[in-house]
């Protein structure tokens, strides 16, 4: 086992252990991947003010996100197909998040179902909802999330149409993988992944198969899903959701101050500044570049979260300094999961926590709730 010291080490290990079509699915961005790259590279020019001879004992990363106590302001982002990075991936990630003390968000497009997660955890988790044309199906999903005691609904609005990822098309992505010769050869070099998949029951898109009337098995799933994302989605649909969900509502996929204002008007409790990890609109701003204008517009009225491009604790604290109340990690936890299962997700969280804690100390602060723009060198972030 190589010595793992950073998220990049987990990425390299995941690439070795996860079959290529699933690794590529997690890692890739859309079209030229310019937004995907900018999500990470736009953090780099942002510089900290280093402080010395300040008492840095007794530091705390504890805070709240939507009123919920968190050990650090980092949540696990909703990701589809997660159970293909590692057998029972969603259950393992949810357990790691619960033990660590940060929120876990289950995707509509997950392999393990809402009920699977509820059965393997003891605290409420968050459920991410895609608005689909079949509104009766959405009503049943919301009822299932309520029955599972989910403490927040994360409504993702940036997937009315699908960004194209070249690698997925070239790899012929499917779950379970099509047994073509290249796929069989690739899987033979990934024995840990294959053994894991063989040892656990195949769950197969548990939020959808058996719950949407037209979908009885995995082969009818992709046709149904492809025509279910709703290009006609509007703010009236958010109101429709509000009438059916009385818990916390987080709106994800906001990249524009005008949309942020509309989200506030819709009665959301929080928004997530997110470009879906660079998987949707290629050519959009990076999330960290979009964040300051959105915080300026609505930050006094609503909690602003962000994701896309977070690979370190340094990234987390930069986002907090620019006004985010918390961030979500997508690929950073997927790499950990693909590399080492539950232990790998814990490793991801440990690495980010340590980096966040030490960076905060270098900036002369001991309480994460006090992080603001004053820890940054003025003019080093995009406005
Ligand atoms: C996603 N994302 C996502 N978002 C969502 O609301 N529902 C989903 O099902 C998915 N699925 C998904 C799959 C994979 C493999 C990835 C990488 C991402 C987007 C996700 O929630 C988050 O916005 C990004 O992952 C954040 O970017 P980073 O942290 O991956 O750079």
Name every protein residue with a CB atom under 6 angstroms from any ligand 1 atom. Answer: 25-26, 39, 77-80, 107, 109, 128, 156, 252, 274, 276-277, 279, 307-310, 329-332
Q: What is the pLDDT of residue 279?
A: 98
Q: What is the pLDDT of residue 214?
A: 83
Residue of the CA atom closest to atom 6 of ligand 1: 156
Q: What is the pLDDT of residue 210?
A: 87
Tell me the pLDDT tens digit for each residue of 11-20: 999 999 999 9
Tally the domains of the chain. Answer: 1
By the 10 Å C-beta count (0-12 exposed, 13-18 middle, 19+ buried), 1 is classed as exposed
Which of 110, 330, 333 should be mutated for ligand 1, with most atoms under 8 A from CB? 330
Q: What is the pLDDT of residue 344?
A: 98
- In the reported structure, the alpha carbon of residue 334 is separated from the centroid of ligand 1 by a whole-number distance in angstroms of 10
| 224 in any annotated domain | yes
- In the reported structure, the alpha carbon of residue 276 is separated from the centroid of ligand 1 by a whole-number distance in angstroms of 5
Residues labelled catalytic: 276
Give the atom of ligand 1 at the shortest distance from the alpha carbon of 329.
29
| 199 in any annotated domain | yes
What CATH number is attached to the domain comprising 334?
3.20.20.70
Which of 8, 15, 27, 78 should be mutated for ligand 1, with most atoms under 8 A from CB? 78
Q: What is the pLDDT of residue 42?
A: 98
| 381 in any annotated domain | no
Residue of the CA atom closest to atom 1 of ligand 1: 79
Average pLDDT, consecutive stretches of 10 residues, N- to C-terminus, the chain (383 residues):
94 97 97 98 98 97 98 98 96 98 98 97 98 95 98 97 94 85 92 90 86 81 87 97 98 98 98 98 98 98 98 99 98 98 98 98 98 97 84
Determine if residue 313 is labeled as part of a ligand binding site: no
Determine if residue 267 is labeled as part of a ligand binding site: no
Distance CA 223, CA 225 (A): 6
| 1 in any annotated domain | no
**Domain, as residue range, for 136:** 7-375
- In the reported structure, the alpha carbon of residue 271 is separated from the centroid of ligand 1 by a whole-number distance in angstroms of 15
| 184 in any annotated domain | yes
Residue of the CA atom closest to atom 12 of ligand 1: 79
Q: What is the pLDDT of residue 157?
A: 98
| 380 in any annotated domain | no
Determine if residue 213 is labeled as part of a ligand binding site: no
Q: What is the pLDDT of residue 10?
A: 98
Determine if residue 95 is labeled as part of a ligand binding site: no
| 41 in any annotated domain | yes
- In the reported structure, the alpha carbon of residue 363 is separated from the centroid of ligand 1 by a whole-number distance in angstroms of 30
- In the reported structure, the alpha carbon of residue 357 is separated from the centroid of ligand 1 by a whole-number distance in angstroms of 25
């Amino acid at each position: 086992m190589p010595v793992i010291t950073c998220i990049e080490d987990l990425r390299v290990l995941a690439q070795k252990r996860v079959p290529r079509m699933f690794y590529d699915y997690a890692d890739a961005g859309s079209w030229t991947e310019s937004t995907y790259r900018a999500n990470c590279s736009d953090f780099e020019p942002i510089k900290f003010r280093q402080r010395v001879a300040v008492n840095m004992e007794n530091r705390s990363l504890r805070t709240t996100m939507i009123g919920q106590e968190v050990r650090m302001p980092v949540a696990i982002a909703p990701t589809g197909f997660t159970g293909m990075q590692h057998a029972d991936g969603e259950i393992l990630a949810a357990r790691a998040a619960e033990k660590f003390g940060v929120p876990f968000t289950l995707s509509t497009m997950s392999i393990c179902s809402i009920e699977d997660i509820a059965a393997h955890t003891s605290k409420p988790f968050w459920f991410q909802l895609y608005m689909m044309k079949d509104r009766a199906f959405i009503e049943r999903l919301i009822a299932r999330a309520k029955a599972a005691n989910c403490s927040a609904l994360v409504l993702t609005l940036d997937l009315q149409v699908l960004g194209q990822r070249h690698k997925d098309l070239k790899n012929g992505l499917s779950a379970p993988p099509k047994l073509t010769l290249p796929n069989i050869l690739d899987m033979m070099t990934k024995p840990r992944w294959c053994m894991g998949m063989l040892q656990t029951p195949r769950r197969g898109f548990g939020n959808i198969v058996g719950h949407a009337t037209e979908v009885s098995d995995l082969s009818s799933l992709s046709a149904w899903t492809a025509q279910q994302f709703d290009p006609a989605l509007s703010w009236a649909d958010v109101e429709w959701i509000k009438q059916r969900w009385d818990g916390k509502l987080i709106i994800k996929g906001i990249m524009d101050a005008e949309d942020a204002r509309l989200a506030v008007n819709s009665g959301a409790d929080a928004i997530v500044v997110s470009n879906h990890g660079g998987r949707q609109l290629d050519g959009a701003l990076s999330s960290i570049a979009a964040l300051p204008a959105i915080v300026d517009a609505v930050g006094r009225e609503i909690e602003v979260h962000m994701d896309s491009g977070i690979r370190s604790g340094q990234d987390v604290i930069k986002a907090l300094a620019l006004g985010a109340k918390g961030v979500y990690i997508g690929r950073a936890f997927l790499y950990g999961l693909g590399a080492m299962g539950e232990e790998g997700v814990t490793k991801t969280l440990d690495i980010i926590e340590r980096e966040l804690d030490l960076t905060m100390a270098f900036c002369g602060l001991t309480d994460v709730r006090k992080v603001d723009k004053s820890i940054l060198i003025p003019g080093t972030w995009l406005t």
